[in-house]
Structure 1
Amino acid sequence: MNQTKVLIIEDNRLSALKIKKLLKSSGFEVCGIVSNASDAMEIIKLCRVDGIIIDMETKFKLNGIEIVSFIHKTENIPTIVVTKHHNYQILKEASKIHFIGYIVKPYLDSQLLKEVKLISIRLGLITPPQMTSLT
């Protein structure tokens, strides 16, 4: 089985490291942790990124939706959006990008892992015999 390679776009270092630890302990590869579009594109050039986990709210120039929109201009990478807001306006904003998962904070680790596994299944990196559970 090929490891699913994930890029984490998160400006909160502690949150990003928690996600990285969870993914690595579950058999996924983390290509990098970045907080902006240009760093994300650099990682994408260096690593075959299968999926992106991005926090919608960043403290930098672009928000998560703008960063993913920038990336998707050249790369169609399945994206999991993480946000602390759950309302119509945020969903409307997120609908502007191609996302495979939408997770509201606080979330269970199993929720995030399920979304990453869905990316793996779509890409054919995990086949049914290798899947014992989605949690």
Structure 2
Amino acid sequence: MANRGETDGASPLLGKRVVICEDEALTFLQMARAFEKAGLEVCGSAADGVEAVKVIRRCRPDIVTMDLNLPAMNGIESIRRLQGGDPVCVIVVTAYSDEETRRRALEAGACGFLTKPVSSNSLLPAVERIYAEHQGRTAPAA
């Protein structure tokens, strides 16, 4: 059975704009390929936290993937600095898996948390689920 508004089985992520904030080139390339193959537009990227905030504000994406261990400014601080602007679904993608890091990221404003390594096969379903949850929280009241 199709989800709301879907009749052709297309992903609800199709055509969404994404910014990838990742300082490891291989991880960035894997994520960019997976997103583009799924029909998302990678509208920007950043390899450090200061650049991440600038790129996100300029591109106004629907979704951001944010590593936490970024140079210049860590991912948690970058997420904090985005609060109060355009609502964006920030998904943390990091090697840190402890509960304290997860709690701090979510308190800073992240919508979801994925632990590296994340395969292409698990990345897209996880992003789709987190984005749908975010849309449910930010949808205007009827």
Tell me the TM-score normalized by structure 1: 0.76
Q: 1:115 to 1:97 in 2, by over 3 A?
A: farther
Match of 2:101 in 1: 90
Question: Could you list the per-position Cα deviations for residues 32-90 of structure 1 after superposition, in whole angstroms to 9, with x for gaps in the alignment?
Answer: 111234433443344330010011112x1211111111122423211111111211221
Contact 1:31 1:43 in 2 (8 A): no
How many equivalent pairs are there? Answer: 123
The structure, 1 or 2, with the larger RCO (C-alpha pairs under 8 Å, 6+ apart) is: 1
Match of 2:24 in 1: 12
For 1:114 and 1:98, the matched residues in 2 are separated by 21
Residue identity in the other structure for 1:71: L
Moved over 4 A (4+): 120-124
Provide the alpha-carbon RMSD of the alignment.
2.3
Contact 1:6 1:29 in 2 (8 A): yes
Q: Structure 1: which 5+ residue stretches go unaligned?
A: 125-135
Contact 1:4 1:120 in 2 (8 A): no
Match of 1:131 in 2: none
- The answer as to 2:134 corresponding to 1:115 is no
Tell me the TM-score normalized by structure 2: 0.73
Q: Structure 2: which 5+ residue stretches go unaligned?
A: 1-11, 137-142
Q: Which of residues 72, 82, 87 in structure 2 aligns to 1:61?
A: 72
